[in-house]
Structure 1
Amino acid sequence: MSDWIEIGAIDAIPRRGARCVNTPAGRIAVFRTQQDQVFAIENRCPHKQGPLSEGIVHGASVTCPLHNWVFDLATGKALGADEGQVRTYPIDLVDGRIFMALEDALVAAE
């Protein structure tokens, strides 16, 4: 069973921006879209391990800053001709606060 961990306020993440969270499972990038949708994915591109949190958010996708691979934030799948996938994490938004499901994790937000 997953534990829901509070990440912080949605307003702490700029629209079309991200925030990194350190967990025992690794670094997780939490993204906010222009439409205030929130997604959490592994912060490492499977191609060259680029930091996805530093990528460009467009719609519900992010482009890796190293080699322009594009990932769907909802599924973690690479789009277009690119192949690969990053892990996604369930997110819930309650009264402007972001919660993420992560099994047995302790969180230190940056």
Structure 2
Amino acid sequence: MADLAYVPVLALARLRETGMAAVSVGGRRVLLVHVDGDVRAYDNRCPHRAWPLERGTLDGCVLTCANHRWTFDVATGRGLDPGDRDLVAVPCRVDEDGTVAVGVEA
């Protein structure tokens, strides 16, 4: 497994609860979601047709892709409808100073 370097990308205060934000880190577009007091990160591409997930809608933990209306549980990354494609998780953490950082290969 490759070593990860965590790159600060956003102040947690700018990511409201049940909110999402797209950021660029290491040449990769990443979608951050803040649900149930936790921050998760995923590739900002729908696994169906690579549509930017930031254009979708988030209702609680359910993210709906704007292109073909596929839905995902952002708490787990699992596909809901259809259930055979999951989101690609990206390592992330919230540092002590309240900064969200995304892991990139060092």
Query: Can you list the C-alpha shifts for 1:55-99, whole angstroms capped at 9, x where unaligned?
Result: 222333311112221122244331143421231012212232212
Query: 2:25·2:102 contact (CA, 8 Å) conserved in 1?
Result: no
Q: Residue 3 of structure 1: CA displacement?
A: 0.8
Match of 1:14 in 2: 16
Structure 2: gaps of 5 or more residues: none
Q: Does 1:60 align with 2:75?
A: no
Match of 2:52 in 1: 51
Q: Normalization by structure 1: what TM-score? A: 0.76
More strand by share: 2
Query: 2:71·2:82 contact (CA, 8 Å) conserved in 1?
Result: no
Q: Give the alignment's Cα RMSD to 1 decimal.
A: 2.0
How far apart in 1 are the matches of 2:5 and 2:68? Answer: 34
Per the alignment, in what secondary structure is the counterpart of residue 11 of structure 1?
A: helix
Query: 1:4·1:99 contact (CA, 8 Å) conserved in 2?
Result: yes
The one-letter amino acid of 2:13's match is D
Q: Does 1:29 align with 2:40?
A: no
Kindly, what percent of the aligned residue pairs are identical?
27
How far apart in 1 are the matches of 2:64 and 2:58? Answer: 7
Query: 1:74·1:88 contact (CA, 8 Å) conserved in 2?
Result: no
How far apart in 2 are the matches of 1:15 and 1:65? Answer: 21
| Superposition misfits of 4+ residues, deviation over 6 angstroms | none
Match of 2:74 in 1: 73
Query: 2:92·2:101 contact (CA, 8 Å) conserved in 1?
Result: yes
Q: Normalization by structure 2: what TM-score? A: 0.79
Aligned residues: 103
